Amino acid sequence: MKKPLFTLIFIFLLTACAPFATAAPTAMPEPSQTPMVSEQATAAELSPTKQGQAEPAKKPKGRNQPAAPTSTNADFVAAEILGRPTDTSVTVNVVPATPMTIYYEYGTESGAYTLQTAPQSAAANMPLETLIEGLRPNTRYYYRINHNGVAGAEHSFVTQRAPGSTFTFDIQGDSHPERVKNQFDASLYVKTLSSAAADRPDFYIAIGDDFSVDTLKDVNPETVRALYVNQRQWLGTVGAPIFLVNGNHEQASLANLDGTPDNVAVWAQTSRNTYFPQPAPDSFYTGDAEPVEHIGLLRDYYAWTWGDALFMVIDPYWHSPQTVDNQFGVDRDQKKNRDLWNVTLGDAQYQWFKHTLETSTARYKFVFTHHVLGTGRGGVELAGGYEWGDAPHFAAHRPGWNQTIQQVMAANHVTIFFQGHDHIFVKQELDGVIYQTLPEPANPNYSWENETAYQSGEKFPNSGHLRVTVSPAGITVEYVRSYLGQPDEVTFSYTVE
């Protein structure tokens, strides 16, 4: 795309797209089930300079984030994003800006689309979901959207890898788009995501604190929804299925429920599941099967197998009656009054976690959550505490559970436990389990955050993402650091056989 044309389109989007995002219905729409595709911007098109223009010049703390254009195509509020990949399907979600007819063309060769989904009628500002199914396992598919007869750009995805395959997945730590200049620079985020896209990962995992509601000036369905729409402009550029992990700043938690549909937890979780297709238990995924009033299935903890690896996402926030970290609307100082024995994964999640690990025959096992216990600072430093690891006092506090979380992971040979929250790269190990803390993807100060909380391990400052390659020879983890104005570099890597 030529720069003058791009600039004109971009200026148009700034004036034309923002109103769509704020004019959408108050009620959270359920994604329609239909096929679709869009002109998704590539990471290259969203150059740091251009993308930077979409950001407000200043974002004072305590203000609502303005809705930003999330697609370079004015026909869409948000370009397509992938989710829920299985052995035979993938789900695509797109948000049209105007009513339109959508279908997807796809096939196993680039440019040769031998199949297509049924046309669907899509409404303006309403996420439209399409299940592309009947696919072959262990196969790369190429697809493109067709809207109102106009074909979009080609993208691709991979169905479940077979055992013995070599593949890559990528993962990022807390993006915190609300912390502009302090911990977030949009141009740097685009650069990190562009680097991730170049890895052609089978999927991309975001570890939480990507949709912070607790610094919004006004918290209501629309302002919460805008956080999820806005994040699409970035995560959508990776071009891989996105898995979300719940963070404390999402405020999607049991402790925030009040029995009505009008509270921040309902708004956050509903927005999340409306704008990002996440897994629920089915023939491919296991996970949280308990619906919650005013939300439905939470899709907050889930597991799947891909190649030789088991992937498990666990959620500390949705099953703890006690507030886990900062309580919404309450001064953070109140955190010190908690009894952390009251913070829990809950019985259903614990039993699922233990059973899944005990019955998995996968050679490698990965566990992802926002943080040990969902709160605090540090990795292995906290792993001996409370439900996570206080074995001597466990029976008194968790009758019927015979192992702490750490004991369950160690006994079942979890390869790597991934966490965020502390905004720094640290690799540690405890009882044969690697504790991998994730850096921020877009911190322009490249700072060491919470470094003093870590008394051991390999430590590196921000920013960047992790590239994890799984192969029959073992696992390679690389910290790919991103810099403004400089090439990316692999700062540190390690292998696990």
Q: Which residues bind Fe ion (CB under 5 A)?
A: 174, 209
CB of 441 to Fe ion, least distance (A): 11
Residue burial 165-190, b: 16+ Cβ < 10 Å; e: rest: bebbbbbbbbbbbbbbeebbbbbbbb
List C-alpha distances in Å: 319 to 131, 229, 288, 316.
Answer: 30, 26, 10, 7
- Least Å from the CB of residue 256 to Fe ion: 18
- Residue 98 beta carbon to Fe ion: minimum distance, rounded to whole angstroms: 36
> Quick one: 343 or 424, whose CB is closer to Fe ion?
424
Nearest CA among 287, 405, 291, 397 for reference residue 345: 405
Smallest separation, CB 379 to Fe ion (Å): 15
Contacts of 470 (CB under 8 A, 6+ apart): 165, 166, 167, 168, 169, 307, 308, 309, 364
Closer CB to Fe ion, residue 82 or residue 382?
A: 382
Length of the chain: 497
Please, which residue, 175 or 237, has the CB nearer to Fe ion?
175
Among 174, 179, 176, 175, smallest CA distance to 60 is for: 179
Query: Smallest Cα–Cα separation from 129: which of 93, 82, 88, 162?
Result: 93
Locate 213 and state its tokens.
Answer: 């509601």
Nearest to 366 by CA among 196, 211, 170: 170
* In the complex, least distance from residue 214 CB atom to Fe ion, rounded to whole angstroms: 11
* Shorter beta-carbon distance to Fe ion: residue 209 or 250: 209
The alpha carbons of the chain give a radius of gyration, in whole angstroms, of 21
CB of 219 vs Fe ion, minimal distance in Å? 18
Measured from the CB atom, is 129 or 209 closer to Fe ion?
Answer: 209
103 or 417: whose CB is closer to Fe ion? 417
Work out the number of other CB atoms within 10 angstroms of the CB of residue 363: 17
Of the pair 174, 178, the CB lying nearest Fe ion is at 174
Nearer to Fe ion, 284 or 460 (CB): 460
CB of 171 to Fe ion, least distance (A): 15
SS3 category, 261: coil
Q: What is the phi/psi pair of residue 459, to 5°?
A: -125, 140
Please report how close the Cβ of residue 366 comes to Fe ion at its closest, in angstroms: 20
Peptide bond into 195 cis (omega under 30): no
Q: Tell me whether residue 55 or residue 325 sits nearer to Fe ion (CB atom).
A: 325
CB of 393 to Fe ion, least distance (A): 29
Strands (E), 447-497: 458-460, 464-471, 474-483, 486-496
